[in-house]
Structure 1
Amino acid sequence: MAKLPLEGVRSVAMPVVFGVPFGTMLLADLGAEGILIESIQHFPPVTRGYLPKPPQALVPTTGATFGGTGGIQTYVDHWAGDRPWGRFVMFLALGRNKLSCCIDIARPEGIEVFKRLIKESDIFLESNAPDAMAKLGLTYDVLKEAKEDIIYLSMPGLGCSGPHTNCSLFGAQIQALAGHTWLTRYPDLDPTTTQSLLFHCDASSGASAAFAILCALHYRNRTGKGQFIDLAQIETVIPHLGEAIMDYTMNGRVQEPTGNRHPAMAPHGVYRCRGEDRWAVLSVSSDEEWQGLCRALGNPPWTSDERFFTVTGRIENQDELDKYIEEWTCRHDNYEVMYILQKEGVAAGPVLDQRDAYHDAHLQCRGFFELVSHREAGTHLYPGMLFNMDKTPLNIRKPAPCLGEHNDYVFKEVIGMSDGEIAELEKEQIIGGDEYIVESFF
């Protein structure tokens, strides 16, 4: 089998929430050896769950989760178990193809172990507030002494400089600061009713981190030099609003939210279909596509209304137009809407929930979901690779690691520690796994 694109590259990361875990997942998928630095002293909030021992009342069993949030306290088989940090579904999804070791980097002995690992590595990634790494004595300048050509990526919410750099932020705050929360809502509702728990900044910062690392690796291959990467999560998501930002800088205009509608297309929206909570989305971007839509609907009398002949007219009369279209979509299921409209060249598709996406024939045909076995979570299907490469096929090679699962490999084979050193550090609780968790973890 051909070597994977990043085979031979070793990354070390402090996983926090979603951004760094997603970025390191991408690197690991490409073949990089991804080692997570975890702890038996401190539970990693959000990364491996929201509570070290969540009450079963907060673990959803069927339907919507606690508070209707859709997965915040979600564990395999609706059960947190004795070691819930090994059963949290977000970690299981993002932890694939990685290794885990536990080091107490709050103590000098742990810092020295960590530096020995960095000396054998190529990349370090973290997303703590900048002052956190400085307090630990693990800045770029310090790690560069351990490994001169190390690539060090830091990705706080607002970056490593600026008046608010040490603010404590999650995705909700970053998207609000970036302008997403303002625009991603309906025009007749305020932001308090439309915020979701799907944050663009989490995935965009992780993907941007992986891309930045690839660029830095390419630079190091050419020059032999590592570098520091200052990645502000907010700056990875603002470009998503490029048109709105430029409209203000060039025209002095603040764009208002439009819901599912488009300023230059009509019809453009989500329409109710036959069945309970079934919907389809369609977009008409030209007069030719409008004619295709009319043919697909059987050219009912209202399509001869001159108000709908031009895009300007359709936009001005969108409320009435949407009512006519939904009268038709309500007579069909959402896949039928897609098939009928696509035959006439109209962009259309069903609105799917997670169950629908798993059973979608297209994703099934492409083999997107992969079967993975995990010693704590059992065997389940997982979302697969983001893309396919014909010369270097990618797949889920190993499940998400249990806490400290790869201590022996990291400390013995990577760092070269003796059995005596390891035993002494375990005795002092500098390193360890599940069996060594201390009271402060909880």
Structure 2
Amino acid sequence: MSDQRSSDDPRRAVPRTDALLAEPAVHAAEQRLGRDLVKAAVQRVQGRIRSGELAAPDAVAAVLDALPPTAGSLRPVLNATGVLVHTNLGRAPLSPAAVEAIAAAAGTTDVELDLRTGRRGPRGEAALDALLEAVPAAEAALVVNNCAAALALVATALGQGRELVIARGELVEIGDGFRIPDLLESTGARLREVGTTNRVTVEDYRAALTPETGAVLKVHPSNFVVRGFTRSAGIGELAAALAGTGVPLVADVGSGLLRAHPLLPDEPDLQSTLAAGADLVLASGDKLLGGPQAGLVLGRADLVQRLRRHPLYRALRVDKTTLAALEATLRGPQPPVQQLLAADLAGLRARAATIAGRLTGAGVDARVVDAPGRVGGGGAPEHPLTGVAVSLPAAFAEPLRLGARPVVGYVEDGRTLLNLRSLLTDDDAALADAVLEVAEKWT
């Protein structure tokens, strides 16, 4: 009797670790993902066999199923939130051209080598040239790792031990608890606040100027909006007021819009801001520009050079893959964010109808509804975008997030909405597949 129990014991059938690792498919996965990650998956499968949950002959297939697609933990997600630049989802999706450029730059490159002379060359020159071609009002440019870093570099180089003049209504929080005044003061600059929360005039700025003034700052208030009895000073007004004072005017426009866009009439852009008289303009590369995370600084050549020569710049500069992605975004085909921004309502409705038709044909309660989209990332908070969503029962939301290809939508009025405004046409089939996979598990 005891011999029978021993032969039925699933622990006796557990394959050895070295035997599983030697299986050709598992060994190939180890070469791609690394031994530690694959060995951990093997041990989890052995545990399932030991507990009787899994049969030993299925071990290899179970190991392969348990492995992630890459050695990293980040997973591709379908953004069905309707928010084009979603901070929690990595902001701007890169264009295929930018992805290819990153792959080309990932190995040994000529990032700081002049191949013609064999000597050290200027870092990121091609990406900077592409920026200057896109924003001809700028004399020079540099790139750091994000827009907050650009602002910190400016505040340090121009305002350390001096005063930075800024309107009270622009001392905003920029996300995750970080606040503009804290960031600026951490550089050793002193803030000279002018105006009130809702109103500031050119005279307020002019009265604040002293020999201690390092710069005047204009900061995009992001999602903070004041309505009603308000007033602000424009770039052109401030530039005229500062003429001849030697005090630089620095504008943080935030979203990275290169030029004025008809759908976003109130959103500041780099070209117009410089043309209006700003000496330096700062922006993000991973928002409406549609590129990698980066902080862009464009403007007067002497000021840009002053920033470039500051010791802090060395700590903030970007790597070769960011430079490659930025250049490809600027020179290559239209990046996804700009395609999404240009989507038309009729096209969105046609796409939604096709997806809903496929789902209803499989017995899913799917409907087409109008649902506004948003730029996101603090851009154009007052200008919702027309959009269309596929509406499903509310219970779909969580399993869609946890699926093999996660889909992030949102629940509104008791329904899960999958907003197509933030999805490219090429994503439609994958979206429908993900919904059908969830529906099949329920039925």
TM-score (norm 2): 0.25
Query: Which structure has greater strand proportion?
Result: 2
Q: Larger Rg: 1 or 2?
A: 2
TM-score (norm 1): 0.26
